[in-house]
Amino acid sequence: MITIYKKEATVYMVAENKLDAKDYENLIPVLTEHINAYQEVFWYIEMQNFEGWTVSAYWKVIELNLPNEKHLKRVALVGSVKWQEQFTEVLLPFSEAHIKFYKTEEKDDAKEWIK
């Protein structure tokens, strides 16, 4: 399940439990709208009790195919498990955005960096 809210040019997302393709179907229009509305967009993703993705959702997250993706400047991923940090490295070749991982106890730093 994901919860999404926006503040100015930043999209905040909290991912909980296991994400499926429907979660990404809900996320993509929000990101697309924001990317089209702002020249520079920032995305904060916090993973709470995160168990991963279904197979279909995993490929959707790697292949976001967002229009005007060059407007996406920074992505902060906040999590507590080593594989979440490693997933950040997997995303790097698929985006021009600067992507950075933060541990859960560093989420205030992540929010500051994303501003």
> Which stretch of DSSP H or E encloses residue 52?
strand 41-53
What 3-state class would DSSP assign to 47?
strand
Report field, pTM of the whole predicted structure over 0.95: no
**Amino acid in the structure at residue 13:** M
Query: What pLDDT shows up at residue 55?
Result: 64
Contact 4, 37 (CB under 8 A): no
Other residues' Cβ atoms within 10 Å of the Cβ of residue 33: 12
Domains and CATH numbers, the chain: 2-106 (3.30.750)
Q: List residues bridging with 72 in a β-sheet.
A: 41
Query: What pLDDT shows up at residue 49?
Result: 83
Length of the chain: 115
If you search the block for the tokens 């967009």, which residue do you land on? Answer: 41
Mean pLDDT by 10 residues, the chain (115 residues): 91 88 83 88 88 65 60 86 63 69 93 91
How is residue 35 written in tokens?
Answer: 């990317």
